[in-house]
Amino acid sequence: MKAKTLETLFHETLKDIYYAERKVLRALPKMARGAQSAELKSAFEQHKDETQGHVERLQQVFDLIGKPARGKTCPAIDGILEEGEEALEDFADSPALDASLVAAAQAVEHYEIARYGTLCRWAKTLGLTEAAKLLDATLQEEGATDKALTKIAEGSVNKAALMAA
């Protein structure tokens, strides 16, 4: 059996996040449609466009390591997104809907931040400077999205959730 090295681990994790990003890309329009606040709606729409860019950056990284862009089922993101869908159903038409959508979206962002942080460091260790730059660019956008969601939650959404229906 071939020894599994950091190179293998990097490639496997890249497939994991590639699967995740493409799934998130399909989930974001649903979340945007579900959101009640215009601010949250537009945050989801903006992040959908960014996510398209994340998918493209990952394709570039696959290219840089000479591998085809292919995903591998990631049960973690499947579970996180399932919870998001539950939030949409369970809190439909309730004042806490947006708060629950923000919570679901932040779980996605934190998952992505964990993955990109790891991948970026591994890329540096492997001497993949160009790949590290691409991964870091996405990492920054995920972090900014997470902060923007916190701002929206604190600005309006959480207070709205306090009101009785």
Q: Which amino acid is at 155?
A: G
Per CB under 5 A, does 112 bind Fe ion? yes
**Binding residue count for Fe ion, defined by CB under 5 A:** 4
Q: Which amino acid is at 145?
A: T
The smaller minimum CB distance to Fe ion, of residues 42 and 94, is found at 42
Question: From CA 66, how far away is CA 60, in angstroms rounded?
Answer: 10
Beta carbon of residue 142, minimum distance to Fe ion (angstroms, whole number):
5
The smaller minimum CB distance to Fe ion, of residues 58 and 96, is found at 58
HSE-CB for 45 with a 13 A CA cutoff? 10
Q: Which stretch binds Fe ion (CB under 5 A): 79-87, 109-117, 129-137, 146-154?
A: 109-117
Residues 59-88 that bind Fe ion (CB under 5 A): none
Question: From CA 135, how far away is CA 56, in angstroms rounded?
Answer: 11
Q: Which stretch binds Fe ion (CB under 5 A): 7-15, 26-34, 124-132, 141-149?
A: 141-149
Question: From CA 113, how far away is CA 149, in angstroms rounded?
Answer: 14
Per CB under 5 A, does 16 bind Fe ion? no
Per CB under 5 A, does 142 bind Fe ion? yes
Instruction: Residue 42: name the closest of 28, 55, 52 by CA.
Output: 28
Question: Interface with Fe ion by CB under 5 A: which residues?
Answer: 51, 54, 112, 142
